[in-house]
Chains A and B, each alone.
Chain A
Amino acid sequence: KAGVTQTPRYLIKTRGQQVTLSCSPISGHRSVSWYQQTPGQGLQFLFEYFSETQRNKGNFPGRFSGRQFSNSRSEMNVSTLELGDSALYLCASSFRTDNEQYFGPGTRLTVT
């Protein structure tokens, strides 16, 4: 079974720009969660989607948004990028919202 895929793997953007990251979950998984990982803050929960509905949201500003499509693929958007948004963005999928999560390889975002 194919794992979670994320595109792109690496991204360099400048302050003020916006970015869209994509995540394709494991086939059959309907829950997708997004995380931001930085050396200083560790793994921080962004949001979770299940069947195209946002179920939970972490403590991030409104510049961070996401959506999930009918095929369970998910996108995350960050508008008006700041230097502090530089991080590894991970998405994870699970069959249900209370199941173990399987992580994708992540998208490394660098904001200059």
Chain B
Amino acid sequence: QQPVQSPQAVILREGEDAVINCSSSKALYSVHWYRQKHGEAPVFLMILLKGGEQKGHEKISASFNEKKQQSSLYLTASQLSYSGTYFCGTEGETSGTYKYIFGTGTRLKVLA
């Protein structure tokens, strides 16, 4: 099952904060976050491993709650450059049927 992201879309003004959630019905080993701008390839933001890890990258940080099988991406004081579609990527079954499953995506638009 594909991880469900919420919200599906969000519009912000520059300087506002946003939270994007990623929920899985399966146990997670790790969570990756990517941002894809229109017409471009996804770009890696950060990876979180098992252990309730929280990582940060400039004004973007994320948390991983393995018990709840959830991860959240926090965008602080958003900038125009943050616009794009955000995907969480989770490591799925290890039986060999698949590895990464990407979430449903969240479209984020930052307005001046």
Q: Footprint of B on A, CB under 8 Å?
A: 33, 35, 42-45, 48, 55-59, 90, 92, 97-106
What's the dominant secondary structure at chain A's contact region?
Answer: strand
Q: Inside 8 A of A44's CB, which chain B residues have their CB?
A: 102
Distance, CA A71 to CA B84, complexed state (A)? 34
Q: Footprint of A on B, CB under 8 Å?
A: 2, 30, 32, 34, 40-44, 46-47, 87, 89, 91, 96-105
What's the dominant secondary structure at chain B's contact region?
Answer: strand
| Contact B99 A42, beta carbon cutoff 8 Å | no
Q: Inside 8 A of B43's CB, which chain A residues have their CB?
A: 103
Given contacts A58-B99, A99-B47, 6 further A-B contacts (CB under 8 A): A33-B100, A57-B98, A58-B98, A92-B42, A101-B89, A105-B41
Across the interface, B99 reaches (CB within 8 A) one of A55, A90, A104, namely: A55
